[in-house]
Amino acid sequence: MSYLRNTWYVAGLADELPADRLLARTLLDEPMVFFRQPDGRVAALADRCAHRFAPLSMGRLCDGGASVQCPYHGLRFDGSGACVHNPHGNGVVPKAAVVRAWPVAERHGLLWLWAGTAPADEALIPDLSDVASAPEHATIRGYLPTACDYRLLADNIMDLTHVDYLHPTSLGNGSVSRARAVVTDLGERSVHVAWRVSGEVAPASFDPHLPTPGQPADQWTEATWTAPCLMRLDVGATPCGAPREQGVRVAALHIATPETAGRCHYWYWSARSFAIGAEANARIRPLIEHAFVHEDKPMLEAQQRRIGDAGFWDLKPVLLNGDAGAVRARRKLDALIAAESNP
């Protein structure tokens, strides 16, 4: 499968990787092992020893995280992938005893892996600081491995007309289906789609928190896709005509990274401007997670089973109004991947 290479992919939440852990995770068809080095920086190595190909993730961290020891015959590799210890014979390290290493950056509470051969450019990491810096009791985040092509997640978030059908009792109230989607191109790596309605009472999750509950409100649902598969969703309501800051807002990240052709890693991370507190978080979390775990994930996986190995465009998908943003995102990603293979 062709993936965009010279780009950052989210590899995990920063707190998925404590100092003493070897984290095995396959990204872009490559089994990798992640660990924290003594200075806290994260290393990502091919999870396949250079000697007899044992998974390094079955081994153990040595020297306070400076190296990982292969579980089979004890070679040790440092964060650059170089073998730094050979317990056999005269101890000389064979030249070929090297495993691939990928650059990793830690930013906005996430681990980012640079998948290309061009120099890693941290300036290309999207700015997610507002979500990352929200109070803990205003945020809900989690990891949901999903057996579907990562691009189905972009379709899911960029075409929210599904909420009225897939989430009729929780997220859907008909307002997205009634609103016209306005799609805006944001350069070659990003697309924005907005659904806005005015003059309706906001849904029950927002209305009681507005300064004028029960009154008509301006409401917005906006999704921004950034290549390869990072979606930011901004949803909110404010009294009619009032600035957004007087209303209530949720900013939610939905991030998918390919694991293999038919599987992806999915992280969600939302930050509310209201109902901040441990009790509110405990009440809201299961409602949100129910939709992802019991409604979106089964649908995405069922879609993938029907699609199988076929190419998405080869199946000639019917296009509807609400698809415009999702289709634009797919085409942009296709173009970016094609540009890398035909520079």
Residues that bind Fe ion (CB under 5 A): 296
Are the C-beta atoms of 288 and 140 separated by less than 8 Å?
Answer: yes
Residue closer to ligand FES, measured from CB, 85 or 137:
85
Q: Determine how many CB atoms are found less than 10 A away from the CB of residue 294.
A: 12
Give 27's strand partners: 30
Instruction: Confirm or reject binding of residue 73 to ligand FES (CB under 6 A).
Output: yes
Kindly state the smallest distance separating residue 156's Cβ from Fe ion, in Å.
Answer: 6
Tell me the window of 44-52, 153-161, 163-171, 206-214 that interacts with ligand FES (CB under 6 A).
44-52
Kindly state the smallest distance separating residue 70's Cβ from ligand FES, in Å.
Answer: 3
Residue 70 binding partner per list Fe ion, ligand FES, none, with a CB distance cut-off of 5 to 8 Å that depends on partner kind: ligand FES
Residue 49 binding partner per list Fe ion, ligand FES, none, with a CB distance cut-off of 5 to 8 Å that depends on partner kind: ligand FES
Are the C-beta atoms of 24 and 16 separated by less than 8 Å?
Answer: no
Residue closer to ligand FES, measured from CB, 75 or 113:
75
Instruction: Confirm or reject binding of residue 98 to ligand FES (CB under 6 A).
Output: no
Instruction: Confirm or reject binding of residue 72 to ligand FES (CB under 6 A).
Output: yes
Element holding 12 (H helix, E strand):
strand 8-13
Kindly state the smallest distance separating residue 88's Cβ from ligand FES, in Å.
Answer: 9
Tell me how far apart the alpha carbons of residues 53 and 261 are, in angstroms, rounded to a whole number: 23
Residues whose CB is less than 8 angstroms from the CB of residue 323 and which lie 6 or more positions away in sequence, other chains included: 155, 159
Instruction: Confirm or reject binding of residue 70 to ligand FES (CB under 6 A).
Output: yes
Count of positions (residues) in the chain:
343
Instruction: Confirm or reject binding of residue 331 to ligand FES (CB under 6 A).
Output: no
Tell me how far apart the alpha carbons of residues 106 and 108 are, in angstroms, rounded to a whole number: 7
Residue closer to Fe ion, measured from CB, 155 or 296:
296
Residue closer to Fe ion, measured from CB, 42 or 158:
158
Instruction: Confirm or reject binding of residue 75 to ligand FES (CB under 6 A).
Output: yes
Instruction: Confirm or reject binding of residue 134 to ligand FES (CB under 6 A).
Output: no
> What DSSP line would sit under 217-270, residue for residue?
EEEEEEEEEETTTEEEEEEEEEETTS-GGGSEEEEEEEEEEEEETTEEEEEEEE
Residue closer to Fe ion, measured from CB, 293 or 336:
293
Residue closer to ligand FES, measured from CB, 86 or 170:
86
Tell me how far apart the alpha carbons of residues 101 and 254 are, in angstroms, rounded to a whole number: 27
Residue closer to Fe ion, measured from CB, 218 or 296:
296
Residue 54 binding partner per list ligand FES, Fe ion, none, with a CB distance cut-off of 5 to 8 Å that depends on partner kind: ligand FES
Residue closer to Fe ion, measured from CB, 30 or 296:
296
Residue 296 binding partner per list ligand FES, Fe ion, none, with a CB distance cut-off of 5 to 8 Å that depends on partner kind: Fe ion
Tell me how far apart the alpha carbons of residues 154 and 296 are, in angstroms, rounded to a whole number: 12
DSSP single-letter state for residue 294: I
Tell me how far apart the alpha carbons of residues 153 and 231 are, in angstroms, rounded to a whole number: 9
Contact pick of 54, 62, 134, 284 for ligand FES (by CB under 6 A):
54
Tell me the window of 49-57, 119-127, 182-190, 249-257 that interacts with ligand FES (CB under 6 A).
49-57
How remote is the C-alpha of 121 from its chain's centroid? 19
Q: Determine how many CB atoms are found less than 10 A away from the CB of residue 26.
A: 15
Q: Give the pairing of strands 181-185 and 190-201.
A: antiparallel
Tell me the window of 45-53, 155-163, 246-254, 327-335 that interacts with ligand FES (CB under 6 A).
45-53
Contact pick of 49, 157, 217, 250 for ligand FES (by CB under 6 A):
49
Element holding 197 (H helix, E strand):
strand 190-201
Residues in the site for ligand FES, rule: CB under 6 A?
49, 51-52, 54, 70, 72-75
